[in-house]
Amino acid sequence: MLFEEIIGNDELKRLLPQMVREGRLPHAVLFTEEGCWGAMAFALALAQYVNCERNTAPATPSMFGDAEPATPAEDSCGTCDSCHKYGKLIHPDLHFVFPVSAGKGLSDSEKKAPISDYFLPAWRELVLRKPYFSEQELYDAIGIENKSGVITVNEAKRILEKLSLRAFEGEYKTMIIYLPEKMNLDAANKLLKLIEEPPAGTLFLLVSHNPERILQTIRSRCQRIQLKPLSREERRAAGLTAAPNPEFAEILQRLLAVSLDKKLIDTFPLWESLSEMGRERQRDWCLYAEQYIRKIYLVASSLEALADLEGDEADPIRDFARRLSPAFYEKAFKALESALSSIDSNVNAKLTFCNLSNIFLLSA
């Protein structure tokens, strides 16, 4: 991945190579984003940049006999052997960790203690095909669709083993950790000392969607870089759509419609459908519902220009904006935040979405 290939956050494309050139790159960087804004793409581009052979060429004698170190360019060359391997995500000094669970393709022994290495082919295929991917898309790709992944102490032990070795080819060993907030406490504590004082030539790049859930002692040892949201045009260029899944829109629109009609019995199949989804899909639906209802509120407040309506969603949103009670919005947002908290706390899903449906119906 080259910096020039990344969509959006143009200032960061200039800043990261400049930090390397000026010797200001920390050993641990925490990229944070609230959606699929390109944090993984930046982590890949930075990892490739620091090991690009053009940027790490040995010092050469000058006409006066002294050695002049190579001056890194503003981007990777994209043509050297190192860049070719990074382009395929197979460089021996590039390592990945991401949340996993027992998947369909694992052996019985692997299912007992799954780690990222068991899923690397599917991971590489996903990242190369769509570097702007969501957590649920990862779980779909590695075959754990209805489960929530986790980074366990077994993964932490594997990280320690990998980083105890010297770099094979490049100057840096790079460990990219996707969603470090998914580390359990044992894993986080085991990695704490390593992230604080890693071996020479080690670079940690963390990509987080919810940094406040990362162990504070780990957060404090990383330099945090917050990505900016992508514009509508940038989202389209990155292959991102307003709705993660057409099913989400259908369930939400039906729930709003039956709530307006006060048909309690018709909410039953809707919250049943939500309760049968995996936890990450439930979270994604709640986040989608928040954005959708925000658009309804903006239209109802005569601020449609700010709603960023797209495609087929415009007419239903305008209709809901005319019909929903002004008191609905605050209660709906609170109910969705409560549902998200319940999902994270592993509360019974049927109770969670039954309660959410009742609040929608009573306040619409």
Nearest to 155 by CA among 187, 186, 179, 185: 187
Q: What are phi and psi of 74, to 5 degrees?
A: -80, -5
Considering the domain architecture, whether residues 357 and 258 belong to the same structural domain is answered as yes
Check whether residue 152 and residue 119 sit in a common domain.
yes
Pair (63, 171) in one structural domain: yes
Shared domain for 200 and 254, answered yes or no, is no
User: Can you read off the two tokens belonging to residue 109?
Assistant: 């022994």
Determine contact, residues 255/268, Cβ cutoff 8 Å. Answer: no
> How far is Cα 213 from Cα 197, in angstroms, rounded to an integer?
22
Residues 6+ apart with CB under 8 A from 287: 340
Q: Are residues 158 and 252 in the same domain?
A: no
Residues 15 and 74 in one domain: yes
Number of domains present in the structure of the chain: 2
Q: What is the pTM for the complete model shown?
A: 0.78
Domain range for 69 is 3-237
Helices (H), 114-242: 120-129, 135-142, 153-163, 185-196, 216-219, 232-237
Domain finish residue from 179, 213, 237: 237
Please report, in tens digits, the pLDDT of each residue of the chain (364 residues total): 999 999 999 999 999 999 999 999 999 999 999 878 999 999 999 999 999 998 876 544 444 455 455 566 889 999 999 999 999 999 999 999 999 998 777 888 888 899 999 999 999 999 999 999 988 889 989 988 667 799 999 999 999 999 998 888 888 999 999 999 999 999 999 999 999 999 999 999 999 998 999 999 999 999 999 999 888 788 888 877 554 568 899 999 999 999 999 999 999 999 999 999 888 889 889 988 998 999 999 999 999 888 878 777 889 999 999 999 999 999 999 999 999 989 888 899 999 999 999 999 999 9
Residues 138 and 253 in one domain: no
Provide the CATH number for the domain around residue 271: 1.20.272
